[in-house]
Amino acid sequence: MILKSTTPAFTFLVTFSVFIMGHMITSEESRIRKTLLYIFARYIEVPLLKYSYFFLRGKWKFIGTLAPVKWLAGRLFARPFGYLADTGKPVPFAQALRIIDSIDGRIAVGPCRCRMGHRACDHPLETDMVFRTGFNAWTRAFPEQYREIDKEEAKQIISKCHSLGMFHMVFVHCPVNEYNEYVICNCCTCGCVPYIINRELGQLNYPLIDGYFMAITHRHRCTGCGECVSICPFDARRIIEGKSITSENCYGCGLCAGVCPEDAITMHMFRDPVLPRDSGGQQPGHHRHRLYRQHYPYRE
């Protein structure tokens, strides 16, 4: 009886460990990595997102928001998953379009896995664009849900989501190698589960890869209208002495710059995250895996 009751938890922990270790020791194009990504797409991703939402914002919130539960979830599950298995990198609208232009290979679009899992958000559903190893994994796992698109349609989807006040995140499988981007998601504060996990459990426990782009305020243009404060999904902006500034850590999503009526905010690349891929679309040969290192929070 004891063995039977512990088998599901033991199986999950073993699978979780194999998934993480397989990503850490293999290259982006390896058969092991591709197989693990397919297994994640087919069997793990949607249930993981669904139940995370239920515990943090949904019908089981009364359990998931208890301090001891959040402490355990953050340290035992979110932290190893965020640092070693999968996390997102917020990027401004213009950068998302440039990423599409830079993709070598096929692109497919399918339903947002978060909204598909919890069914608690009214934003558009067909918004997740997979490429590189993500294209093979998700079109193989769900051929009826994903359709191939060209770069022009991909940019149209991003533009439509941007007009709805959504922000864009590039997800990286195995963040110890920041070249492993596989999907561009168009996210919202009410339905994006990785965003919700980050907000509820904290940047230390589930780190989003922040700080590549920073919002810089031209104070002489700012009228203090507060549009940027209202739209910032990371609560990074404040009105101080009649002017808007970045007073908390900026994640670089760029929504504030997009809504400013005075063009008083621009997005500045604060640091160069990774060197360009080579002519074959691969990471530079001298690149070495390492844990994601958080920078000092950016504030104006």
Chain center to CA of 230: 21
Residue 177: what residue type? Answer: N
Cβ-in-10-Å burial (0-12, 13-18, 19+) of 10 comes to exposed
In terms of Cβ atoms closer than 10 Å to its own Cβ (0-12, 13-18, 19+), residue 184 is: buried
Within 8 A by CB and 6+ apart from 201, the residues are 70, 73, 74, 78
Phi, psi at residue 265, to the nearest 5°?
Answer: -125, 130
Which residues 6+ apart lie within 8 Å of 106 measured at CB? 131, 135, 148
Q: What residue has token string 């990504």?
A: 37
Q: Tell me the pLDDT of the chain (300 aa) as tens digits.
A: 334 444 555 555 555 555 555 555 556 667 777 888 898 899 999 999 999 999 999 999 999 999 999 999 999 989 888 888 889 999 999 999 999 998 989 999 999 999 999 999 999 999 999 999 899 999 999 999 999 999 999 999 999 999 999 999 999 887 666 667 899 999 999 999 999 999 999 998 998 987 688 899 999 999 999 999 999 999 999 999 999 999 888 999 999 999 999 999 999 887 666 656 655 556 666 555 556 666 677 777
d(CA 38, CA 25) in angstroms, rounded, equals: 17
- Sketch the domain layout of the chain as residue ranges: 2-190
130: left (phi over 0), alpha (psi -120 to 50) or beta: beta
* Residue 199 per-residue DSSP state: H
In angstroms, the CA 136 to CA 182 distance is 10
